[in-house]
Amino acid sequence: MKIGFIGLGNMGAPMAANLAAAGHDVVGFDVAGTTALGVTPVASAVAAATQRDIVITMLPNGDILRAVAGDIIPAMQSGATLIDCSTVDVDSARAVADQAQTAGMLTVDAPVSGGIGGAAGGTLTFMAGGSADAFAVAQPLFDIMGQKAVHCGEAGAGQAAKICNNMILGATMIATCEAFALADKLGLERQKMFDVASTSSGYSWSMNAYCPAPGVGPQSPADNGYAPGFASELMLKDLGLSQQAAEAVDADTPMGARALELYRQFVEDEGGKGRDFSAMLPRFETRGRS
Ligand code: NAD
């Protein structure tokens, strides 16, 4: 396949490199001038999109995606497929899909989970929205860059799944951290707390797979000084997207709203920026009720 990759950041560069390593002809562009192993650099997003079977974007947010899409869609060849792997708002995903489909392209919104490690190791999970035909074109590439791809529905469904999943994650991580901090104050050993909660109804991915208490459970960013992992500011971004979506469709999401407030406070006022999102535990440890 002739692939154009736009956005060679922490996630995009290793994803593009994996496609090149699998034998695809990949050209890439990033405004910051970053490159990726095996990927031929080109001078602009339009150059990366011209005469390519597939164009993949991995960009910071929906405004940038809309701007890039506005530039590249007129340059793409008819029948090409645009796959956006960024995490963006559902409205931007649908607007870009509409624009591209009107111009004769196939589109997939395919945000990922699995982080930088998953991007490097080719073990991402893709949550995809788009037609069955578009998903069929994208699936072999998802198989190279990831270990699982779920076709969630029509355009925007991938982003909807991503932000709902991460709203659960934000709320459960906070709940897990505050429970550990309470257990500490009640004199309970952390290992005992883990042994009980991880095998009882306190079970969750935050508890079992990504335990925020250092030295307890499987290896996680807590065992590495809370270096990300998944940075708190990225969780803040995703919680913001879920509240934006909830407002748009009049959904009542009080836990998501509270999680957003707590991560905003943590990132903006309490030094949480650049720390893993599980560093909520040391935050709670130092606090009382007021
Ligand atoms: P990043 O900031 O490292 O990479 C984004 C890249 O886009 C940057 O290199 C930037 O220079 C480039 N860019 C910005 N505007 C551009 C433009 N107009 N044209 C071309 N390139 C442009 O971010 P990342 O960590 O790679 O994340 C990318 C996306 O993936 C985000 O939407 C993020 O929310 C999502 N995501 C990240 C993670 C993670 O753990 N890092 C996990 C899941 C999803």
pLDDT digits (tens, 9 = 90+) for 187-214: 999 999 999 999 999 999 999 999 999 9
* Percent composition of the chain: helix, strand, coil (DSSP 3-state, to 5): 50, 15, 35
Is pLDDT above 90 for 116?
A: no
Q: Which two tokens stand for residue 123?
A: 């073990």
pLDDT confidence of 225, banded at 50, 70, 90?
A: very high
- From the CB of 7, is ligand 1 less than 6 Å away? yes
pLDDT digits (tens, 9 = 90+) for 241-285: 999 999 999 999 999 999 999 999 999 999 999 999 999 999 999
* Mean pLDDT calculated for residue range 133-151: 98
pLDDT digits (tens, 9 = 90+) for 26-41: 999 999 999 999 999 9
CA-based nearest residue to 230, from 117, 124, 144: 117
CA of 65 to the centre of ligand 1 (A): 10
What residue's CA is closest to ligand 1, atom 16?
A: 31
State which ligand 1 atom lies nearest to the alpha carbon of 230: 40
Q: How far is 245 from 126, CA to CA, in rounded Å? A: 20
Q: C-alpha angle with apex 182: 218 to 261, nearest 5 degrees?
A: 85
CA 189 to chain centre: 33
CA of 63 to the centre of ligand 1 (A): 12
- From the CB of 279, is ligand 1 less than 6 Å away? no
**Spatial contact of 171 and 202, defined as CB atoms under 8 Å apart:** no
**How much is the pLDDT for 229?**
86
Q: Which two tokens stand for residue 105?
A: 């392209």
Whole-angstrom CA distances from 32 to 6, 8, 197, 199, 274 are 11, 9, 45, 46, 20
Q: How far is 82 from 87, CA to CA, in rounded Å? A: 15
pTM for this prediction? 0.94
Whole-angstrom CA distances from 154 to 5, 104, 127, 136, 250 are 23, 16, 11, 13, 21
